[in-house]
Amino acid sequence: DAGVTQSPTHLIKTRGQQVTLRCSPKSGHDTVSWYQQALGQGPQFIFQYYEEEERQRGNFPDRFSGHQFPNYSSELNVNALLLGDSALYLCASSFGAGTQETQYFGPGTRLLVL
Amino acid sequence: AQTVTQSQPEMSVQEAETVTLSCTYDTSENNYYLFWYKQPPSRQMILVIRQEAYKQQNATENRFSVNFQKAAKSFSLKISDSQLGDTAMYFCAFSNYQLIWGAGTKLIIKP
């Protein structure tokens, strides 16, 4: 049973560029949440997708957008990258909308913006 | 605003000892969930234990147990018989509709 997978594992971009991160949920899960974890800090909730719609959103600008596909996989897009976007981006999957359910995390994508 | 506070940035104990990590939270909600997650150096976030606020009984998972004090809004994690593999960052998280995370406690288990 495959767990949550994310790609790529590492990424280097320059300011102003756009980036797309990908996530495949654990088998049987239908909900994907995205988090940003800056170095030395706890994760910050970006948004959650369920039934191909954004259900919840944290305090992130519109430069952060996402998508969920019919197979429940998800993408996180960040436009006009800033140096402050450098972080570990975590994807988590669960069954059912909301965050009260146990979330299973992927290994993350490390993004460095130069 | 809902907040989660972990007041111990770093702790270290000898292998086989018992260690308790502290977590307090602030919310006006009555129904919510609390979690402890572990993040080893490999970065993969792993669920340690989950507590539902409406349940008075403290959750336990093998060597891991919590002391949930709802009135005090406290949710501490106790690790018994600590092992080298327990070395990691430990995050306390509160869930209502979003997962709100603490800043984490770095736990080092010394041989």
Total of domains in chain A: 1
User: Do A102 and A80 form a contact (C-beta atoms < 8 A)?
Assistant: no
Which H or E run includes B5?
strand B3-5
Contact B45 A33 (CB under 8 A): no
Mention every residue, 6+ apart, whose C-beta is less than 8 A from residue B56: B68, B70
Pairing of strands B64-69, A104-105: unpaired
Asked whether residue A92 is assigned to any structural domain, the reply reads yes
Q: Residue B81: what are its φ and ψ, rounded to 5°? A: 50, 55
Closest chain A residue by Cα to residue B50: A102
CA distance A24 to chain B (A): 15
pLDDT digits (tens, 9 = 90+) for A44-94: 999 999 999 999 899 999 999 999 999 999 999 999 999 999 999 999 999
Round to the nearest angstrom and report the end-to-end CA distance of chain A: 37
Asked whether residue A67 is assigned to any structural domain, the reply reads yes
| pLDDT exceeds cutoff 70 at A1 | no
Give me the pLDDT at residue B71, please.
Answer: 93
pLDDT along chain B (111 residues), means of 10: 92 97 92 93 89 91 96 96 96 86 96 95
Whether B36 contacts chain A with CB within 8 A: no
Asked whether residue A114 is assigned to any structural domain, the reply reads no
List of chain B residues whose C-beta atoms are within 8 Å of the C-beta of residue A41 = 103-104
Q: What does B80-98 look like in DSSP terms, one character per residue?
A: -S--GGG-EEEEEEEESSS
List of chain B residues whose C-beta atoms are within 8 Å of the C-beta of residue A92 = 45
| pLDDT exceeds cutoff 90 at A98 | no
User: Do B82 and B22 form a contact (C-beta atoms < 8 A)?
Assistant: no
Mean pLDDT of A33-53: 93
CATH of the domain at A30: 2.60.40.10
User: Do B79 and B67 form a contact (C-beta atoms < 8 A)?
Assistant: no
Asked whether residue A20 is assigned to any structural domain, the reply reads yes
Q: Which of A56, A99, A102 sits opposite B47 (nearest CB)?
A: A102
Asked whether residue A57 is assigned to any structural domain, the reply reads yes
Residue position matching structure tokens 């049973």: A1
Short-list B27, B30, B20, B38, CA closest to B90: B38
| pLDDT exceeds cutoff 80 at A100 | no
User: Do B36 and B22 form a contact (C-beta atoms < 8 A)?
Assistant: no
Mean pLDDT of A3-26: 97
User: Do B16 and B81 form a contact (C-beta atoms < 8 A)?
Assistant: yes
List, as ranges, residues 62-101 from B with C-beta within 8 Å of A: 91, 93, 95-101
Residue position matching structure tokens 């594992």: A9
User: Do A13 and A19 form a contact (C-beta atoms < 8 A)?
Assistant: yes
| pLDDT exceeds cutoff 90 at A43 | yes
Short-list A27, A28, A67, CA closest to A50: A67
Which domains can be identified in chain B, with CATH numbers? 3-110 (2.60.40.10)
- A47 burial type by CB count under 10 A (0-12 exposed, 13-18 middle, 19+ buried): buried
Residue position matching structure tokens 């070395």: B87
User: Do B91 and A42 form a contact (C-beta atoms < 8 A)?
Assistant: yes
Full domain range(s) for residue A104: 5-109
Mean pLDDT of A98-104: 77
| pLDDT exceeds cutoff 70 at A99 | no
